[in-house]
Chain A
Amino acid sequence: MSVVTLTINDRQITARAGETVLDAARETGIPIPTLCHLDGVTEAAACRMCLVKIEGRGRLQASCVTSALEGMVVHTETEAIREYRRMILELLFAEGNHVCSVCVANEHCELQSLAADHGMDHVRYEYMNPKRPVDVTHERFALDHNRCILCSRCIRTCDEIEGAHTWDFAGRGSHARIIADMGQPWGEAESCTSCGKCVQSCPTGALFRKGSTVAEMTKDRERLAELMVARKEKKWSV
């Protein structure tokens, strides 16, 4: 296996050839924020939180889909990038109905943590206050569209890890939403195996276990990646 060396934020680091800038940075302990990235499933490059500046490239690059190359010079924390990340977070908060104080995922929410990390003390954009439904038709789980940020982690997890492909997108633009099967209530979606992996993959409180109340819904996201490694290497005694 060949190894490349690159510079991230003035630090020389090594990466396996073919590894993404995001993975290389995180392995070295350099944090890059993400929302749609989830270890174990393919990348969507949709949240744009992981954008970094790579010298010699005109546009900002999503580090989750950019391969680390020999001699690359990467900046993950320029002033503009931090501002852009904060703006993206504000846009997400303005888009949905995110009320942390009554959310099952309060204090266990990736969106909330990132907002805190980025000093997002208020939202400069007009709240859209959309009227969105809550789907509680499933026996064990529920989907609150108000908290969904359309990261598509549940879609990819269901498709790639469970192989059921119950979830997908419908609608476009601000009407985009997650649907089960052909748009029926989750409880009636025949392809759903009730495995609950989507619930574990969700970064916010949009997908949660029924019966959990405010701040009770913790998620085990590492398990999904472990599952993929176990399958690949046929080692099940974790």
Chain B
Amino acid sequence: MNIADLHTIREAERNRCKPFTIRCCTSSGCRASGALEVFAELQKQVQESGLTDRVDVVGVGCPGLCSEGPLVESTHPAAIYPRVKSEQAREIVRISLNEPCQLEQLDPGHPFLTGQLKIVRARAGIIDPERLESYIAADGYVGLQQALQQSPETIVETITVSGLRGRGGAGYPTGLKWATVAKMPRGQKYVICNGDEGDPGAFMDRAVMEDAAHQVLEGMAIAAYAVGANQGVIYVRAEYPLAIERLQLAITQATRAGLLGTGILGSGFNFTIEIRIGAGAFVCGEETALIASVEGLRGMPRPRPPYPAERGLWDCPTLINNVETLATIPAILRNGAEWFAAIGTEKSKGTKIFSIAGKIQNSGLVEVPMGTTLRQVVEVLGGGVPGGKALKAVQTGGPSGGCIPAELLDTPIDYESLSAIGSIMGSGGMIVMDESDQMPEIARFFMEFCADESCGKCVPCRVGTVQLHRLLTRIIERKASQDDLDQLIQLCHLVRDTSLCGLGQSAPNPVLSTLRYFASEYEALLQPPEFPGHTRRKAPIPLTVI
């Protein structure tokens, strides 16, 4: 395929449109509430009503409002129908014949729909994720086409100027990472897409891979061209079967169309992508463990340096980026670095996808510019806590993050602000808690998760998390005293300061952040000291990183 062919496909697809389109979400969230039956019924009704040349039924990616699924959208008149059942399919199809419709519709001014800025998820809910043409019609592969007309150095510079930072959690500047790999001597290099999304309650990357698999491939191809790699690996967890299916389909389609493979778009650039399926270990989201897993070894982290940029997969320089990071790349290439850098805050550019879950009215996926306040996301877009209860805290960053109390909801969402209040941006999971949630219980839940997911390599993480879990259990069971609480804090510092990889280093965050903001809940559970008047020395290690 050359550039002219790409253009032809785009025009043909755009002109193919029928007067009336019905879009039905076929992503994992809506599938769980019966979207596939609704989708089949819609197609059947169109057939039976003889409307096949008038009405197009498209299975699309996730529009975001998962709690209201299955979602069906019609174009003329524009309307979104929530919680659609198969029986209602006929009524929706008949709208195209101007028949009146009594179905419940979502308010088009619903803050969840209007309050977002979609860059990465711009196509979700609009294109058919299983058709390459559909993606091409929505300006797909324009970014790659433009990239191939520039020098690799220019692209690295573009990404650097855009200010994009890694969306996997740590927020490392993407341009800097690319520049490091690009500067390694020529030879075999790899690009890895990290799709091992493991935080409980987080499903942003799943949605991106399911809804716009081609966008991930395009981002990877641009990255590969920029750093001089010719092979790519997408590491996806086995728990995401639909994402794997759609990525595999996208790779097949793109390879067949010449958008992957040799001589891409008539240039001299070659790039192939293969999928590696993770067996479901949280630690394999850590880059060195992920690389070990791709190599067929046990998924255990190794000390860095050397960083993967220098010595990664098969000891070759390797660029490893998160799904969302790579899916942001095509838009930056299409619209320019300045456009991207104008969105967000001074140090955190662009948009970020969050999956909001827990005690919240509208759960699902939102994409907002960096710098948006937590309150805006939780109370306006999310619609607040249902049932008239008071919001207590928002947990961001999963087992590596922290709980942010209600009084700090006006904090803007950016890497620095969140870490200043003891949490992290993380990959984008956001769990809302109301007044009935007990913070020590929350901390124990995450600690159990970490103890379970520790690979067992280093002592502080393997043994420390288990001991922390025991201490938290003692506190919750009202068997602990102040001494135990002191020991809990001291142990948190040990695990944080001495663990080998990010899993252990961040495992105490849920405990430390809840202790910081909800200390009274812990203290209320403590038993009086066994020997009153006898004071033991307090935890000797200061609260700052030593």
Contacts and interface: CB of A to CB of B under 8 A. Distances in A.
A161 B70 CA distance: 60
B13 to A, nearest CB: 47
A91 B463 contact: yes
Most buried by B among A46, A169, A175: A46
Contact of B460 (A44, A91, A171): A91
A125 B459 CA distance: 14
Contacts of A169: 298, 300, 456
8 contacts: A44-B457, A45-B500, A48-B458, A80-B540, A84-B494, A94-B467, A126-B470, A174-B466
B546 A92 contact: no
B455 A48 contact: no
A88 to B, nearest CB: 5
Contacts of A125: 467, 487
A47 B459 contact: yes
Interface of A: 43-48, 51, 53, 58-60, 62, 65, 78-80, 83-84, 87-88, 91-92, 94-95, 124-126, 128, 149-150, 152, 168-169, 171-176
Contact of A173 (B298, B466, B499, B540): B466
B456 A51 contact: no
Contacts of B465: 173
Nearest to A88: B459
A169 B545 CA distance: 32
Interface of B: 281, 283, 298, 300, 302-303, 451-460, 462-467, 470, 487, 490-491, 494, 497-500, 505, 540-541, 545-546
In the A-B complex, list the 7 residue pairs whose CB atoms are closest, starting with the nearest.
A176-B456, A91-B463, A45-B303, A173-B454, A65-B303, A95-B463, A48-B498
Nearest to A65: B303
Nearest to A67: B305
A53 B459 contact: no
Of B456, B499, B505, the most chain A CB neighbours within 10 A belong to B456
Contacts of B454: 172-174
A94 B465 CA distance: 13
A173 B497 CA distance: 19
A46 B458 contact: yes
Contacts of B470: 126
A173 B453 CA distance: 6
B459 A128 contact: no
Contacts of A83: 540-541
A51 B452 CA distance: 25
Nearest to A124: B487
Nearest to A126: B470
Nearest to A96: B463
B507 to A, nearest CB: 11
Contact of A46 (B459, B490, B505): B459
A1 B334 CA distance: 51
B100 to A, nearest CB: 59
Contacts of B464: 91
Contacts of B463: 91-92, 94-95, 174
Nearest to A48: B498
A172 to B, nearest CB: 5
Contact of A128 (B283, B466, B545): B466
Contacts of A168: 298
B541 A80 contact: yes
A78 B497 CA distance: 14
A53 B498 CA distance: 11
A175 B498 contact: no
A174 B464 CA distance: 10
A215 B439 CA distance: 49
A94 B487 CA distance: 15
A173 B546 contact: no
Contacts of B281: 172
Contacts of A87: 490-491, 494
B300 to A, nearest CB: 8
Contacts of B505: 59
A91 B467 contact: yes
Nearest to A92: B459
Contacts of B541: 80, 83-84
A60 B498 contact: yes
Nearest to A169: B298
Given A43-B303, A173-B453, 18 more contacts: A44-B457, A47-B458, A48-B499, A58-B545, A59-B505, A60-B498, A62-B303, A62-B500, A83-B540, A87-B494, A88-B494, A91-B459, A95-B462, A150-B462, A172-B456, A173-B462, A174-B456, A176-B457
A105 to B, nearest CB: 19
B210 to A, nearest CB: 28
B162 to A, nearest CB: 27
A193 B271 CA distance: 44
Nearest to A79: B540
Nearest to A81: B546
A118 to B, nearest CB: 14
B501 to A, nearest CB: 10
A22 B269 CA distance: 45
A11 B505 CA distance: 31
Contacts of A45: 302-303, 458, 500
A78 B540 CA distance: 12
Contacts of B467: 91, 94, 125-126
A128 B466 CA distance: 9
Nearest to A170: B298
A173 B460 contact: no
A84 B498 contact: yes
B456 A59 contact: no
